[in-house]
Amino acid sequence: MGESCRYHSGADAVWHCQPCQRHYCGECVPGSVDNYPKSTPKCILCNRALANVGASNKAKPFWQMAPFYFRYGIRPGPLTVSIISAVAAIAMTGLGIFSIFVLVALLAMVIRYNLLVIERLAAGQLEAPTFGDAQDGRSAATFARVIGMILVAGAAGMLLARLGQGTVQAYAIALSLLTPAAMIVLALEHSLRAAVNPLKLLQFTLIIGWPYWLLWLSTSAVSAAPTYLMPVVMGKVPDWMLLPLLAFTTSYFSIVTSAMMGYICLTKQQRLGVASMVDDDEFLEEREFDRLKALADASILLRESRGEEARKALVTALRQQPDDLALNERYYRLLLAIEDQKALRELGPHLLERFVKLNQPHKAAELYVATLNSQGAPAIDKSPLRHQLAEALYRQRQFRPALALINNLHKEDPQYPKLDAAYLLLAKIYLDGFNRTDNCRKLLAFVRKKFPNSRVLQEVQQLESILSAEAGAAQPA
């Protein structure tokens, strides 16, 4: 099972900070690597470079991927290598002694491609490399290292032969068991010394654990497939096809085993110290990246009790994008979380007004109630804001704070131009929130008398009709 994000438990980890031992998801580290200086995202807590673990964290267990390995061998790159092997086998039949050179070149090409498959898969690239990717001038050096491995193994066997047949048999078994590890180490470290170091190979098997032995069984079985296939087809196909068929199937199954080796490294990528090819997200436009980065940083810093740093991250972003809803809400909730009463008194009303101006009165009402619950009522002296907040609270059936906001508005601001609508709202609050029909009637009558040309008179009349109908229904027959 993959690692989850430290701060979003339902999300898979994409990045890891080794010093902090924190896993982050794509929401914690937004955007593409190209959004970051030198394409290197850094930990917000310690400012160290993060390691991408997206591909390895999503990787399924080795034994669940059998269809992937066999499909991998028929992708364009691997299929090209297998076809070239078959064509080279046909060509060798007519070249005499020069066929040795063709064979060496073919082996060098196939070995280089197989090691590249291991290297790419271990780094998290699930797409097979193209044939051209392997033509990087390293085929000869790679082939020489493989020959060196064979020579070292043979020399060690000759030395052990002096100790008796039992020792040689034990050595042969150990050699067979460690061959996949040797090929993987060679692919990842490009070092002959590392690939023939018994302690290095043993360490590798211990890191992989018991799945390594499943890998050994699988690669042994798959590598032997051409040996069992050829007797089946002999006599059923022309003789001239046998050699190219053997070359094709040998190449195909070698790539399948290399895919197995590479994928098992992917599942243990971090412990093996393999540099990941970043499973990158979409590049973000600068303003959007700055916005999402500030939101992510503030969330993490607040969770880590670093409220002042979280505030700075949000303030910096708000200076550039003062009307962004998410940034404003996160900043307001940050002030609530750190219980900054002074900032809430001074900035709270301005932030609430900003939500109203951005056509988000419901959000302003929600934050106002949150402030009431934690800090007490912020002082709001602007009548339009009080009116709009009260209306939003009424719609959310928060009758008591709505009443507190608008109850004395006519005394505190008798010149407020929408006082008629405010009185009507107050009447609704008394009726729906407290069942005070008497107060409701008085307020409606006052609106009708005080504002004879008001636009809300039709609503006043409708509400009076409802009250009259209810009063009539309540009288005894």
pLDDT score for 474: 60
Same domain for 80 and 171, yes or no, is: yes
Q: Which residues make beta-bridge pairs with 49?
A: 42
* Cα-trace Rg, the chain: 37
In a domain, 67, yes or no: yes
Tokens of 150: 């064979």
Distance CA 442, CA 444 (A): 6
Q: What is the pLDDT of residue 238?
A: 78
pLDDT of residue 341: 87
Co-location of 45 and 95 in the same domain: no
**For 310-424, where are the E strands, in sequence order?**
none
Is residue 266 located within the same domain as residue 385?
A: no
Q: Residue 277 has what pLDDT?
A: 66
How distant is the alpha carbon of residue 473 from its chain centre? Answer: 62
SS3 content of the chain, % helix, strand, coil (to 5): 70, 5, 25
Asked whether the beta carbons of 264 and 187 are under 8 A apart, the reply is no
Angstrom CA distances, 105 to 139, 232, 316, stand at 9, 29, 60
CA distances from 164 to 168, 291, 393 (A): 7, 72, 91
d(CA 290, CA 286): 6
CA atoms within 13 A on the CB side of 161: 7
**Which of 212, 279, 301 minimizes the C-alpha distance to 2?**
279
Cβ atoms < 10 Å from Cβ of 464:
16
Residue 460 counted as domain residue: yes
Give the total number of structural domains in the chain: 3
Confidence (pLDDT) at 416: 92
Same domain, 94 and 44: no
Residues 6+ apart with CB under 8 A from 404: 377
CA atoms within 13 A on the CB side of 321: 20
The DSSP bridge partners found for residue 237 are: 234
Residue 380, SS3? coil
pLDDT for position 425: 95
454 token code pair: 């008001």
Q: In the structure encoding, which two tokens stand for residue 417, read together?
A: 């131009």
- Do you know the residue count of the chain? 477
- pLDDT given at position 280: 59
Q: How far is it, in rounded angstroms, from Cα 59 to Cα 263? A: 8
Q: What does the pLDDT look like over 400-424, one tens digit per residue?
A: 999 999 988 888 898 999 999 999 9
Please check whether residues 147 and 47 belong to one and the same domain.
no
Give a yes or no: residue 298 inside a domain.
Answer: no
Question: What is the structure's pLDDT at 296?
Answer: 96
Give pLDDT, residue 125. Answer: 87
CA distance 376 to 374: 6
Domain boundary among 272, 306, 333: 272
Residue given tokens 């590890």 in the structure block: 181
pLDDT tens for each residue of 152-196: 988 988 988 888 888 989 989 999 999 999 999 999 998 999 999
Whether pTM exceeds 0.85? no
Contacts of 255 by beta carbon, 8 Å cutoff, 6+ apart: 72, 73, 78, 81, 82, 113, 114, 117
Residues 165, 89 share a domain: yes
> Both 326 and 468 in a single domain?
yes
Could you say which residues of the chain have pLDDT below 70?
1-2, 94-96, 275, 277-281, 472-477
CATH number at residue 453: 1.25.40.10
171 burial type by CB count under 10 A (0-12 exposed, 13-18 middle, 19+ buried): middle
Structural domain of 45: 15-52
